[in-house]
Amino acid sequence: MKRSNLKIKLSALAIASVVSISTSFSAFAEQTLFTNVNVFNGTENKLYNNLNVLVEDKLIKSISSAKPATEDDATVIDGAGKTLMPGLIDGHVHIMINSNYDDIIPYEDPYDLGIKSAIVAKDFLMDGFTSIRDMGGPAFAVARQIKNGTIIGPRIYPSGSFISQTSGHGDFRGRFDLGWSVRGQQDLGVWEKLGFGSIADGVPEVLEQTRINLRHGATQIKIMAGGGGSSKYDPIDTTQYSVEETCAIVEAAKDWGTYVAAHIFTDRAINRALDCGVKTMEHGFFASFETYQRLAKEGGFVVPQMWGLSPELMNNPLMPKDKLPLIAQLAEMYKDVGRTMLDAGVKVSFMSDWVGEIENSNRSRRYEIYWRTVMFGGGKNNYDGNFEVLKQLTSIAGEMLALSGPRNPAPGPIGVIEVGATADILLVDGNPLEDIHVINGGYKEWYSQPAPSENPIETIQLIMKEGKVYKNTL
């Protein structure tokens, strides 16, 4: 909006009646009109050609073949036949865990991590990600500063610390930080001091921890509901948190209008979580077909990181050599798991989930986009891997993030191009339904690739978040 116009309209408003105030307000809107674009709407396996998309303030106002009427000072962007699509969504990240574990304790404090989170945030946005869901870590400050416009980055849905039982997947205390008995248990480990994770046992403690996270502004709650690979004391087959504890956390989240996400792998743990109403299963790739069907029927989501089952994981320099045979064996055993999830009808969201050094995290995100097209393509139902992954990056992830209800920071639906949706928009040179590499910079490998922050994705030519343009190379 031009300043001189604003002044005139403001003085007009001062003497206007209530009725004319409401009509005058539409004239205040900032408008951007994209002409001559082919639209991927996030839900259908096709492009709608030659359209005009009008953005007003933070939302998409109209989509039409005919050029719509606009304000005199609207910005017009000639899309020149490029693909207009929703901004990308990463359903599971850890923006604050941005150093290798071994470097954090001796060398860094929370301010190092905070400063680096601003760099990670910018890298996400410049790769076309306009929303991310943070699944553990104190991402509240970086979310606030992005919202305030101090720094640039995606819209963040923070969980706060992940909540874990003693000896659970979030118990990163040293072996001798605890004594042999329950006394002394309240002493915080480094991970708890940094706000990455919180250990809470029993219904009163898990309720208090859930409410502490909500008090900070968590948009959902993340719990550790089963064992994992990166932790110290919990074999992957273990089930974590009792029914009483799990259900108490879910009730407290529901009372805040939101939901619980669980780090989880096995049938037993997923079924317990479902009994209590947990909505999203993070990782979740060792479940049976029947369990995926139950998850689908009950409206849940599975959020797997498929690099965990990829040959590239073997090239991860941080992976202990003695774990390589097990990784190879699991990758072979679960090579069909992506297609099994789709066969069962369960909704799948994209996640990159890499923690540690920033550039490796960026590389894993780009690699994950490509690797998923392999894991979710083909099979007996001949899935179109590109389309499945594009939905996971847009409309399905957007539907999942909407589970935050009144805690959802987006002004309208995300992950879709439709009237009334949030104006999170990419203009891409090429058709990602045919060539996924137009949105991942051509990465087919992980560690061998150049640093993404020095290697912008040239085919993503325009990035808009909530109606504001952050990149434009058209």
Give me the amino acid identity at 208: E
- Residue 61 or 222: the one with the smaller Cβ distance to Zn ion is 222
Assess contact for 80 and 388: CB atoms under 8 A: no
- Residue 228 or 385: the one with the smaller Cβ distance to Zn ion is 228
Residues, the chain: 474
- Residue 253 or 355: the one with the smaller Cβ distance to Zn ion is 355
First to last CA, the chain: 22
- Residue 354 or 371: the one with the smaller Cβ distance to Zn ion is 354
Give me the 84-123 binding string for Zn ion, x by CB under 5 A, dash otherwise.
Answer: ----------------------------------------
Residue nearest to Zn ion (CB): 353
Instruction: Give the nearest distance from C-beta 135 to Zn ion in angstroms.
Output: 5
Closest CA to 246 of 237, 235, 254: 254
- Residue 261 or 462: the one with the smaller Cβ distance to Zn ion is 261
Given its phi and psi angles, is residue 3 left (phi above 0), alpha (psi -120 to 50 degrees) or beta? alpha
Assess contact for 404 and 259: CB atoms under 8 A: yes
Q: What counts of helices (H) and strands (E) characterise the chain?
A: 15, 18
The token duo for 171 is 């118990």
Closest CA to 200 of 190, 214, 186: 186
**56, β-bridge pairs:** 31, 59
- Residue 58 or 116: the one with the smaller Cβ distance to Zn ion is 116
Q: Is 134 in the site for Zn ion (CB under 5 A)?
A: no
Give me the 387-426 binding string for Zn ion, x by CB under 5 A, dash otherwise.
Answer: ----------------------------------------
Residues 39, 36: Cα–Cα separation, whole Å = 10
Assess contact for 262 and 219: CB atoms under 8 A: no
Instruction: Give the nearest distance from C-beta 471 to Zn ion in angstroms.
Output: 27
Residues 130, 424: Cα–Cα separation, whole Å = 6
Instruction: Give the nearest distance from C-beta 421 to Zn ion in angstroms.
Output: 28
Instruction: Give the nearest distance from C-beta 224 to Zn ion in angstroms.
Output: 10
Judged by CB under 5 A, the chain residues 339 through 378 that form the site for Zn ion are 353
Q: What are phi and psi of 437, to 5 degrees?
A: -70, -15
The interface region with Zn ion, picked from 5-13, 129-137, 214-222, 224-232 by CB under 5 A, is 129-137
Give me the 317-336 binding string for Zn ion, x by CB under 5 A, dash otherwise.
Answer: --------------------
Instruction: Give the nearest distance from C-beta 275 to Zn ion in angstroms.
Output: 23
- Residue 7 or 232: the one with the smaller Cβ distance to Zn ion is 232
The interface region with Zn ion, picked from 128-136, 188-196, 272-280, 409-417 by CB under 5 A, is 128-136
List interacting residues with Zn ion (CB under 5 A). 135, 353
